Amino acid sequence: MMDDPIKNESSGTEPEHTGGGAELPRSRAVRRFGFHSRISDREPFVRKILDFARLFWLFLMLAVILSGFDLFRRIEVERDHRTVGIVAEYRDIVLLSRQTGESAEETWNRIKDTGAVGICASELTGKDLAAGFLPLYYGSLATFRPVLRFALSLPLDRAAILVENADPMLETIVDYLRTRYSGIVTLSMTEGTLIVLPQATDELADAGTLPDFTALAFAESTRTRAVYRPLSASGVDGEHTAASVKWLKQRYPSISCVLPAGQMVSGYPDLAPLIRTLKELELSVAQAEFVRQIGVSELYSGMAPYIIPLHSLVREELISRRMSRAQVIERMVRAVHERSIRLLLLRPYELYGVDKMVPFIEDTRTIAESLESRGYALGWPETIPMRMSSVGSALGVALIFLACVWSYARRFCGYSDEVSGVEMAVVLLSAAALGLCVWYVPAVSRILGGFTAAMIAAEATLWALDAYEKPAYGLLAGLLVTVAGGIAIASFYGTTWAMLRLSPFSGVKLTLLLPPVLIAANDLKLRIHPESPSDILRRPPLWGELVLAGGALCAAVMLTVRSDNVSFVPGWEVNFRDFLERLMWVRPRTKEFLAGYPCMIIYFAAERRGWLEHYREVFRLGASMAFSSAVNSFCHFHTILILSAIRVANGWILGIAVGLVTLVILDYAGRPLWKKFARLFA
C-alpha cells in the first residue's frame, strides 16, 4: 500500500480543477474549501470580500483589532513590572553566620551583595520558644515554682512565658501579647514577669505565639525590608489578628509584606478585619506558589491587586526529586521568566554540604545575574495595577468564536465559498450581541472561554489539514488562526485577577478533548475518512485499528491527567525540558513538537503519496494536539504574553523539524516493515 503513489491530476483518474471546483468529487471539494477563491479579480471589490476565505481572515483581523486596546495595556503592565526581589530567612542567616564565625549583619551584607533585598521574619511557635529562639523561658505553668501555681489558681497546662526584668524586650512582649490574646495573666516576680496565656501548651505547640522580634529588630537596624509570616493560633479571632499586625507595623516599619504561614490563614474564618488592616497599612500579601492553605483564596481575593507572587523550594521536594544545584537555579529563574514570579525565597539546602555559605552565595549570585541578563531589575517589586477588560476585547472574543463556529458549520455542511451579504451581517450582529452578553454576564464569559479556545484549536487544525496539497500554506494558516485566537483570549481574559491566578481559566481540559471530537465528526460526515460509522461497525476490526485506538486512548488519558499537574512528569522528561529551556530560551510544549506537528507532517505525506488510507484519521486527530496545546499556552495568563508567543513559535518550528525527521525514518525503516506486516495490521 505504501508503494502506490497518489494519482496526479493529469493521469485522468481525478478531474482537473478548473477554478470552479464543480468537477471535483464532494470530499475533495470540501478539503480544498477555503483555499481557492471562485471570484475573479475583475469583479467588484464587494464581491471579492464576499468570499469565505477572505471573509474569515477579515473577521480574525477585526477580532485582533478590537482586542488591541486591552492587548497593549497588558503588554504595558508586563513591561513596567519587571523588578524581582530575592529574600532569605532570618534564621538561615543566623545559622550561616555561626558556620562562618561572622556576625549576622556581616553574613547578611555578603548575601545582600549578591542581589538579595529582604529577609523573612517568622512568627514563632511554642516549640520554637521552647527551643530558645528568643531569650525567654517558655513552658506550661506546671514547670514553674509551686508557689506560683497555687497563687494563680490556673490550669497547670496553660502556656506561660517568663521574661527577665532586665530584658529590653519585656515591655514589647507584654504589649504584643495583650494585643493578640484576650485573657492573659501577668505576675511580677523577682526573676522577671510571668505571662500566662489563655491557651494550653499543646494548642500552641505548632501555632503562632510570638513574632521573631530579633528578626524584626535586625531588619530595622540594617534598613532591610521584612516579609512577616504570621501563623494562626487557637482562640485568636480576626479582630485580634488584625490588631496584632497593625501593632507590629507601627513599631517595625520595615515590614513590607505579609506571607501567611501554616495550614490555615491567621484569623480565619473572619478575614475581613485583617484584609481591611493590611490595605490601611498599605501592606501587600505574598502569594506562595503550589501552597494550599485554608482561607488563602479568600485572603487573596480580598487583597487584590496588592499581591506579589512568591516562589520557594521546600527541602522535601528537593530531596524527593534529587535536584542538583543547577536545577534549583534553573527552577528559580524559570519561575520568574515563565510564571511572572516577583519574589524568590532562597534557602541554604542540604545538598550544599556542611559548609553552606559559599555555595549559597554562588547560587544566589548566579540567579541574580541570570535574571539581569533577561532584562529584570533586582529590587523590591511593586504590585500590578487593577485592570479589567473593555467591551472591545469582549467583542473580539465573541467575533472569533462565532467566526470559528461559522467556518466549521460551512465546512461540515459542504457549502460553497460564496457568502451572501445577509450571512456576513448575521455573523457580525450575532458577534456584537454575544460580545455585550459576555461583557455584562460573568457566567457567560466563563463558559464561552473554554469553548472559544476549543473552537480555535479545531479550526486551526482543520485549516492546516485541509491544505495537504500545500503543506507550507496549511501549517502557516493554522499558526495564524492560533495566534489570532490566542491574542483575543489573552486580551479579554488576561485581567489582573487572571494574572494573579485569582480567576483560573476553566477551558484547558476542554481545549484538549473537544477538538478531536469535532475533527472526527467533520471527517466522518464528509467522508474524508473512507468509511462511514455504519461501515466501520459492520466489518470486523483490524489489528492496526485496535492498536492505534488503544494508544490514542492512553495518550488522551495521560494528557488530561498531566495537564497542569507536574507530579505526573517523570524525572527524565524534567531534565529534557531543562535542556530545551537552555537551548531555545523558552521551552516549547512537548505535546506540540513530539506529537501534534509530527502527526500533521505524516498526514500530509500519507495524503500526497496514497499511504494508509484507513489510518490517516489517527494522524488527523493527533495533529489537533499541536494547536490545542498552542492555544492553551495563551491561556496561561500569569505568563508574559510575548513569551507565550515565542513558546508557540518554537513549538511550531521544532515540531515541523521533528516531523520531517520522523518522515525520513518512516521512508527508510517503515516501508520494509510495512511490506512485511501490512496484511496483519491492515
CA–CA separation, 565 and 582 (whole Å): 22
Residue 679: pLDDT above 80? Answer: no
Instruction: For residue 269, say if its preceding peptide bond is cis, omega within 30 degrees of 0.
Output: yes
Region 530-544: mean pLDDT is: 67
Q: What angle do CA 402, 406, 407 make, to 5 degrees?
A: 120
DSSP H or E segment with residue 200: strand 192-200
pLDDT digits (tens, 9 = 90+) for 157-202: 888 899 988 888 899 999 999 999 888 888 887 778 888 898 888 8
pLDDT at 310: 95
d(CA 537, CA 531): 10
* Pairing, β 158-164 against β 284-288: unpaired
- Beta carbons of 457 and 624 less than 8 angstroms apart: yes
Lowest mean pLDDT among 42-46, 299-303, 312-316, 405-409: 42-46
Which residues span the domain enclosing 331?
82-134+212-378
Q: Which of 378, 408, 431 is the last residue of a domain?
A: 378
Is the distance from CB of 278 to CB of 246 less than 8 angstroms? no
Contacts by 383-386 with C-beta closer than 8 Å and gap 24+?
383/284, 383/305, 383/306, 383/307, 383/308, 384/77, 384/81, 384/305, 384/496, 384/499, 384/500, 385/77, 385/305, 385/496, 386/304, 386/305, 386/496
pLDDT at 23 exceeding the cut of 80: no
Same domain, 498 and 563: yes
Q: What is the three-state SS of 74-103? A: HHHHHHHCCEEEEEEEHHHHHHHHHHHCCC
Residue 564 has a pLDDT of 45
**Residue 506 banded pLDDT, cuts 50, 70, 90:** confident
State the average pLDDT for the chain.
Answer: 83
- Measured CA to CA, the distance from residue 227 to residue 286 in angstroms comes to 8
* Greatest CA separation for the chain: 113
Among 378, 404, 429, give the residue marking a domain's end. 378
Is the domain of 19 the same as that of 123?
no
pLDDT higher than threshold 70 for residue 441: yes
Considering 328, 355, 378, which residue would you say is the last residue of a domain? 378
Do the domain assignments include residue 1? no
Instruction: Name the one residue in this structure whose C-alpha cell is 521551552.
Output: 587
Asked which of 157-171, 198-212, 319-333, 363-377 is least confident by mean pLDDT, the reply is 319-333
Residue 2 within a domain: no
Q: What percent of the chain has pLDDT over 90?
A: 48
301's grid cell: 481575593
Domain assignment present for residue 456? The answer is yes
Residue 135 buriedness (CB in 10 A; 0-12 / 13-18 / 19+): exposed
Provide the CATH number for the domain around residue 125.
3.20.20.370
Please state, in angstroms and rounded to a whole number, the distance separating the CA atoms of residues 98 and 466.
69
Radius of gyration in angstroms for the set of CA atoms belonging to the chain, rounded to a whole number: 32
| Band (242; pLDDT cuts 50, 70, 90) | very high
In a domain, 199, yes or no: no
At 240, is the secondary structure helix, strand, or coil? Answer: helix
In a shared domain, residues 99 and 60: no
Whether this prediction's pTM lies above 0.85 is answered by no
> Residue written as cell 510495512?
674
Same domain? For 355 and 404 the reply is no
Mean per-residue pLDDT, 274-289: 94
Query: What pLDDT, on a 0 to 100 scale, did the predictor assign at position 553?
Result: 63
Q: Which amino acid is at 355?
A: D
Residue 616, pLDDT > 50, answer yes
Reported as a pLDDT band with limits 50, 70 and 90, residue 558 is: low
Q: Average the pLDDT over 655-667 and give the result.
A: 89
Q: Are the C-beta atoms of residues 336 and 342 closer than 8 Å to each other? A: yes
Higher pLDDT, residue 302 or 552: 302
- Residue 588 sits at the vertex; the CA angle it makes with 582 and 591, to the nearest 5 degrees, is 135
- Provide the pLDDT confidence category of residue 316 given band limits of 50, 70 and 90: confident
Do residues 221 and 253 both lie within one domain?
yes
Of the ranges 17-31, 250-264, 573-587, the best mean pLDDT one:
250-264
Number of other CB atoms surrounding residue 654 within 10 Å: 19
Q: Choose between 48 and 487: higher pLDDT.
A: 487
Tracing cell 489578628 back to the chain, one arrives at 241
Q: State whether 48 and 111 are in the same domain.
A: no
Yes or no: say if 308 and 284 are a contact pair by the CB < 8 Å rule.
Answer: yes
Q: What is the DSSP string of 407-452?
A: HHHHHHHT--SB--HHHHHHHHHHHHHHHHHHHH-HHHHHHHHHHH
Q: Are residues 416 and 362 in the same domain?
A: no
173, part of any domain: no
Q: Kindly report the number of other CB atoms within 10 A of residue 373's CB atom.
A: 9
| Residue 459 within a domain | yes
Pairing of strands 307-312, 83-89: unpaired
pLDDT digits (tens, 9 = 90+) for 140-154: 888 876 656 556 677
| Pair 519, 634 in one domain | yes
Identify the CA nearest to 78 among candidates 393, 491, 507.
491
Q: Where residue 48 falls among pLDDT bands split at 50, 70, 90?
A: low
Is 80 exceeded by the pLDDT of residue 660? yes
SS3 186: strand
CA dihedral 668, 674, 677, 680 (to 10 degrees): 160
For cell 501555681, name the residue: 149
- Which of 211-215, 234-238, 571-575 shows the lowest mean pLDDT across its residues? 571-575
Using CA atoms, how far residue 31 sits from 468, 529, 667, 680, in Å, is 9, 12, 25, 31
Say if residues 192 and 162 touch (Cβ distance below 8 Å): yes
Residue 381 has pLDDT above 50, yes or no: yes
CB 210 within 8 A of CB 129: yes
The three state secondary structure string of 160-185 is EEEEECCCCCHHHHHHHHHHHCCCCE
Q: How many domains are there within the chain?
A: 2
Task: Identify which of 2-11, 143-152, 252-261, 616-625 has the greatest average pLDDT.
Answer: 252-261
Three-state secondary structure of 290-341 = CCCCECHHHHHHHHCCCEEEEEECCHHHHHHCCCCHHHHHHHHHHHHHHHCC
Does residue 563 register a pLDDT over 70?
Answer: no
- Name which residue leads in pLDDT, 570 or 95: 95
26 has pLDDT over 60? no
| Cα distance between residue 268 and residue 264, in whole Å | 7
Cell of 460: 486551526
The band of 414, judged by pLDDT with boundaries at 50, 70 and 90, is: confident
Same domain, 317 and 413: no
* Residue range 485-502: mean pLDDT, rounded: 92
DSSP code string of 514-552: HHHHHHHHHHHHTTSSSS-HHHHHHSPPPHHHHHHHHHH
Cis amide bond preceding 146, omega within 30: no
Looking at the domain assignment, is residue 148 inside a domain? no
Say if 170 falls within a structural domain: no
Average confidence (pLDDT) over 309-321 = 83
In this predicted structure, the answer to whether residue 652 has a pLDDT above a threshold of 50 is yes
Pairing status of strand 343-346 against strand 83-89: parallel
Residue 455 shares a structural domain with residue 572? yes
**How far is 497 from 436, CA to CA, in rounded Å?**
20
Share of the chain above pLDDT 70, in %: 82
Positive/negative CA dihedral, 406, 411, 412, 415: positive
- Together in a domain, 325 and 468: no
In this predicted structure, the answer to whether residue 484 has a pLDDT above a threshold of 90 is yes
Q: In this predicted model, which residue has the larger pLDDT, 188 or 59?
A: 59
The pLDDT-based confidence of 350 (bands split at 50, 70, 90) is confident
Q: Are residues 362 and 324 in the same domain?
A: yes
